[in-house]
């Protein structure tokens, strides 16, 4: 009986403290979409037009019948856009419970060539230069937030194997694990402890840093992912 009790206690101890912690479930409202140069008929009568979209270049085009608020599609141009998916309080007459809102046009091309209207400085994703980035969008409690009214910066120093920056209130720093291709980990994040008006937003921003798993640089923008979920977006300072 005594041995059985000891085994039970040890089992509970290992279950409570020995199991690896699971990553928090994140449902990002941000999506990057590729939009085809032409719209197509959604129905046979030609009265309704749909976008053709895909989530990555290697995938096939799919019909997209919903509208994208703020997106002005010009025929003949292919787009790469960042959208936010927002919940609607009630279903619309069309039966939709969400809406898509344009956050920014990442790229606009004609016949595979960049147009003059979206010229942006090209930033090579080199790891030899520690570029400073400014936060533009982040997620908070699985809802999208635009970084307005405060500034947070991020620098990835691959040579020094560290990440650092400045939140709206405090400086922060930590170690950087450089994995294959564009996969990274931010670890041992620490910060100063000054309070300010945007302390809550800063707390959310700092809590997202250890969740970083991958970064993608496109033009003057950088996108940070936790698995398939886009959790932060930055622009070059």
81 and 154 co-located in one domain: no
> What integer pLDDT is reported at residue 86 of this predicted model?
84
- Domain of residue 218, CATH code: 2.40.128.270
CA distance 22 to 89: 32
Q: How many domains does the chain have?
A: 2
| Residue 73, domain member (yes or no) | yes
111 and 136 co-located in one domain: no
| Residue 14, domain member (yes or no) | no
| Residue 17, domain member (yes or no) | no
74 and 109 co-located in one domain: yes
Classify residue 29 as exposed, middle or buried by CB count within 10 Å of its CB (0-12, 13-18, 19+): buried
| Residue 1, domain member (yes or no) | no
- Look over the chain and give the mean of its residue pLDDT values, rounded to a whole number: 82
113 and 146 co-located in one domain: no
Question: For the chain, which residues score pLDDT lower than 50?
Answer: 2, 5-21, 116-124
157 and 197 co-located in one domain: yes
163 neighbors 175 (Cβ within 8 angstroms): yes
| Residue 145, domain member (yes or no) | yes
| Residue 123, domain member (yes or no) | no
109 and 200 co-located in one domain: no
Q: Which domain holds residue 44?
A: 30-118
207 and 230 co-located in one domain: yes
Q: List the structure tokens of 219.
A: 């033009």
CA distance 185 to 138: 18
Residues 179-199 pLDDT 10s: 888 899 999 999 999 989 999
> What integer pLDDT is reported at residue 57 of this predicted model?
85
| Residue 50, domain member (yes or no) | yes
Give the global pTM: 0.74
| Residue 83, domain member (yes or no) | yes
140 and 195 co-located in one domain: yes
200 and 228 co-located in one domain: yes
138 and 228 co-located in one domain: yes
């Amino acid at each position: 009986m005594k041995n059985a009790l000891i085994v039970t206690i040890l089992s509970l101890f290992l279950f409570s403290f020995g199991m690896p912690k699971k990553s928090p479930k994140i449902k990002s409202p941000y999506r990057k979409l590729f939009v085809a140069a032409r719209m197509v008929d959604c129905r046979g009568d030609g009265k309704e037009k749909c976008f053709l979209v895909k989530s990555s270049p290697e995938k096939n085009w799919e019909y997209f019948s919903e509208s994208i608020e703020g997106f002005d599609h010009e025929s003949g141009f292919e787009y790469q856009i960042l959208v936010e998916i927002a919940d609607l309080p009630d279903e619309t007459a069309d039966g939709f419970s969400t809406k898509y809102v344009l956050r920014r046009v990442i790229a606009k091309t004609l016949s595979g060539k960049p147009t003059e209207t979206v010229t942006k400085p090209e930033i090579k994703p080199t790891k030899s230069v520690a570029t400073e980035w400014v936060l533009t969008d982040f997620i908070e409690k699985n809802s999208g937030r635009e970084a307005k009214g405060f500034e947070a910066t991020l620098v990835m120093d691959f040579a020094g194997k560290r990440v650092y920056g400045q939140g709206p209130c405090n400086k922060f720093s930590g170690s950087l694990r450089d994995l294959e291709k564009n996969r990274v980990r931010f670890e041992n994040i620490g910060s100063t402890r000054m309070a300010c008006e945007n302390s809550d937003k800063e707390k959310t921003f700092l809590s997202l840093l250890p969740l970083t798993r991958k970064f993608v640089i496109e033009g003057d923008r950088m996108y940070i992912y936790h698995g398939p979920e886009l959790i932060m977006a930055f622009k070059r300072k």
